[in-house]
A and B are shown apart, each in its own frame.
Chain A
Amino acid sequence: MTSSKGTTGVVGFIARSRDRLLIPRKLARWRDQPSPAALADAVQTLLRLEDVDKAWAIARQGYARYKDDELVREMWRIAGRAHAEQGVALAQDEVRERPSANAFLKLARFSVLLRDVEAALRALEECLRRFPTSAAAHAALAELLEQRWLRDLAAADGRAVLSHLRKAWRLDGVEATRPLRLAAFLARVGAVREALAVTEEVLHLHEAHDDARTLRDSLSRIVASGVEAGSIDPDLEEDVESLLRQIEESGRVVGDPGDAARVARESDRMRSFLPALRERTGCEQTLVLEPKGDALDDGGALGVCPFTSLAANLARSAQITVRRLDLGPLRSVAMETTGGSLLLQRAQRCMVGALLDDSAAVDEGRAALEQLVAGRLPASPLAAARGGAGRPEGAR
């Protein structure tokens, strides 16, 4: 063991020495005769030499020049990951040795780059525990929570987004982007008049702010048309809490024009995994439930039948039950019976369901559904094109 380690050490030393000798030539090659191969060679050598900053700088240059080249994109991803990992390590040292709000923000930012959102949330929460007056930390936490809210639509996350954005605004009234984000979020949940009031307040301080003016004009039009159509009662106060609860319960953001497209994308993606789910679990019936209650499988829309009725009823009841019990967003439902089991798994805003004949296969079914949601089952092309004429009419 010792001799093997020693050999590796010697080999590593020789390789590094060689890299050190060759790197000036490789960098010159990238500078004078740039090509994807020259870039990959330089970036790989710099990473072996642990010069992560330089590797990341070169990888970004290469990405700007050869964005469509697969090798260059791969180098950009590898160097970016190494850069973020180094950033996390340095920020962790800084947090330990010289804790400051800025150090926590760096840690959160690099964690997000590594797609570790939970670590980023933890860093920001700890930051606010130690530095509760950091407006930047409140704003950053609101941003992450808003992304999670868009995924789960949990009322608790929505409340937290509003609270952090309001605190960030109070703590730093000069920065206009935070109240504008607050206004945009309020508008998204349906509190358009409150959003308009926030925008007006921003314009008192920043009269010439273009984004604030555009948002004010757009919100004014929405409010005016809502009052005219009778959907907005100007004498009634908007109940943001109730709006957030309605969104959580219905699983969709009614006034958000991007919502339908987002749900369609999620649904299509989940449906493409259904053949693999059936093969893996041996079940014959699977479906994807959209927030409005539409049931589809990989062949298109499913009509009303006991399976779709049961799945839709159960999903809706479960959603309401966990909300009433304050258990947070619903993740899964398992109805186990002697005659078989119905499993439902939350997949972003939709739910994926499988009807298992064998009641003993529940654990396997659960594992397969979790893998499906994580995108770890093989996808297949959808049999039917989505929407309009592509969807089969009525029941199949």
Chain B
Amino acid sequence: MKEIVKRLEGVPGVQGALVMTLDGVVVASVPDGIDHSPTAAFLSAVLLSVEKSAEQLGLVPLQRLTLAAARGRLLLVPVGELALAVIADGTSDLGPAISEVAGMTRHLLKQSRIEVGS
């Protein structure tokens, strides 16, 4: 998983990225040396706090959450039972890079499920 997340490290505009479980545990993150646990825990709390109202409004399943601020953006993309969060600048097009990493994560999850099943 770390290798997959590392793919985002070199993408122009990306300042950091992490893959987390939906209950806020960091699975892999870049750059190294930064404690991403508080961010993951907080994002998990955010998802929980909006879950009920979103369901009542039929706003499910989540495809992407984007928070845009003056000095950058946070993008959160659910990938199976995990979520990929990317912190980036406000302008770079991250669509292709995020799709690639999300796709690879999904593939890895599927493989691990098959291995566990067999």
Which residues of A come within 8 Å of B, CB atoms? Answer: 152, 154, 306-307, 309-310, 313-314, 317-318, 320-322, 324-342, 355, 359
Contact = CB atoms under 8 A, between A and B. Distances in A.
B82 to A, nearest CB: 17
A336 B63 contact: yes
Nearest to B43: A321
B72 interface: yes
Contacts of A335: 50, 54, 59, 62, 65
Q: Max chain A CB contacts within 10 Å: which of B58, B63, B69, B72? A: B69
Contacts of A341: 59
Interface in B79-117: 87
Contacts of B53: 306-307, 309-310, 313
A314 B69 contact: no
A326 B67 CA distance: 12
Interface of B: 38-39, 42-43, 45-46, 49-50, 52-54, 56-74, 87
Residue of A306, A340, A341 with highest tally of chain B CB at under 10 A:
A306
Contacts of B67: 318, 321-322, 327, 330, 332-333
A351 to B, nearest CB: 12
A194 to B, nearest CB: 27
A-B pairs with lowest CB-CB distance, top 7:
A328-B70, A310-B53, A327-B69, A328-B71, A306-B56, A322-B69, A339-B58
A196 B53 CA distance: 47
A6 B58 CA distance: 67
7 contacts: A307-B53, A320-B42, A327-B74, A329-B70, A330-B67, A335-B65, A341-B59
Nearest to A344: B67
A81 B87 CA distance: 41
A317 B49 contact: yes
A337 B71 contact: no
Nearest to B59: A337
A332 B42 contact: no
Contact of B57 (A313, A317, A328, A355): A355
A324 B73 contact: no
Contacts of B45: 317
Contact of B64 (A306, A322, A334): A334
Given A321-B74, A329-B70, A339 B60 contact: yes
A341 B38 CA distance: 27
A321 B46 contact: yes
A317 B39 CA distance: 12
A324 to B, nearest CB: 7
Nearest to A331: B68
Contact of A325 (B63, B68, B87): B87
Nearest to A309: B53
B74 A337 contact: no
A335 to B, nearest CB: 5
A331 B69 contact: yes
Contacts of A329: 69-70
A387 to B, nearest CB: 27
A327 B73 contact: yes
